[in-house]
Chains A and B, each alone.
Chain A
Amino acid sequence: MTQQAADVLVAHELRKTFKKVEAVRGISITVAPGERVGLLGPNGAGKTTTLLMLLGAILPDTGSVTIVGHRLPRHRSRAMESVGFAAGYLPLPDRLKVREALGVFAGWYGVRNEKQAVNEALERFEITQLADRLCNALSSGQRTLVGIVKATLHNPKLLVLDEPTASLDPDVALRVRTGLLQFCASTGAALLITSHDMREVEMLTERVIFLANGQVVANDTPAAIAATFGYDDLEGVFMQLADEARRA
Chain B
Amino acid sequence: MSWHRIRVVMRRHAYVLWRAPHRWFDIGFWPLMDIILWGSLGTYVARNSTSATSSTPYLIAGIMMFHILFQSQIAVGTGFLEETWSRNLLNVLTTPVTEFEYLAGTAAFGLFKVLFALATLSITAFGFFRFELSSIGWSILPIALILTIVGWSAGIANIGIVLRFGQGAEILIWGSNFILMAFSGVFNPVDALPGALQPIARILPSTHAFNALRAVLDGKPLPGNEIALGVIGAFVMLLAGFSFTAWMLHVFRRRGFVTRFS
Contact = CB atoms under 8 A, between A and B. Distances in A.
The judgment on whether A and B are partners is: yes
B88 A92 contact: yes
A49 B254 CA distance: 11
Interface string A96-133: 11001001110111100000000000000000000000
A59 B253 contact: yes
B130 interface: no
Interface residues of B, number: 34
A89 B2 contact: no
Interface string B1-28: 0101101100110011001100000000
Interface stretch (A72-80, A181-189, A195-203, A232-240): A72-80
A87 B91 CA distance: 9
Given A59-B253, A77-B98, A104-B8, A93 B86 contact: yes
Contacts of A85: 90-91, 94
B135 interface: no
A91 B256 contact: no
Interface string B87-108: 1101111111110000000000
A95 B94 contact: no
Contacts, number: 104
A150 interface: yes
Max chain B CB contacts within 10 Å: which of A48, A52, A97, A109?
A52
B86 A91 contact: yes
A56 interface: yes
B262 interface: yes
Given A57-B253, A80-B95, A108 B258 contact: no
Contacts of B5: 107-108, 110
A108 B262 contact: no
A104 B11 contact: yes
A103 B97 CA distance: 14
B86 A108 contact: no
Contacts of B88: 90-94
Interface in A27-64: 48-49, 52, 55-59
A57 B93 contact: yes
